[in-house]
Amino acid sequence: MKTEQFEAFLAKLYVDDQARARFLADPRGEGNRAGLTSEQCNALESIDTIGLQLAADSFARKRAAQPPPEPSLRILRWLGLT
C-alpha cells in the first residue's frame, strides 16, 4: 500500500463524518476494507481518537467560515460579465 493511499484514508477521516464514525467504531475493519497493510492498520488502532475528532471539528469550522470562492476574472470574461 502506498503512503499516499494511507494519507488519503487519513484525510478522509478528517472531512467525512460518516467515514470517521465507521472508523471510530472499527478502526482495523475500516483499514482492512480500505486495503491498508497490517502495519498501517496497527497504526490506526493506536490513533489519538480525541485528537482526530478535535482536528475534524476544527477543519469543519474553518471550512464553514470561508466565504465561497469568487469566480475568476477569466471565467467572468468568458461569460461576458465584465
Q: Is the pLDDT of residue 72 over 90?
A: no
Residues contacting 15, CB < 8 A, separation 6+: 56, 59, 60
Residue 16: what pLDDT?
95
Q: CA 29, 54, 27: angle at the middle one, nearest 5?
A: 5
Q: Any idea which residue has 478522509 for its cell?
A: 12
Residue 1: what pLDDT?
47
In the structure, what pLDDT confidence band is assigned to residue 82 with cuts at 50, 70 and 90?
Answer: low
Q: CA 49, 56, 63: angle at the middle one, nearest 5?
A: 175
Chain-centroid distance, C-alpha 66:
17
Predicted model pTM: 0.74
Residue 15 vs residue 1, higher pLDDT:
15
CB 5 within 8 A of CB 12: no
Task: Report domain extents, the chain.
Answer: 3-65
Average of per-residue pLDDT across 67-79: 79
User: DSSP class of residue 46?
Assistant: T
CB 44 within 8 A of CB 36: yes
pLDDT tens digits along 21-65 = 999 999 999 999 999 999 999 999 999 999 999 999 999 999 889
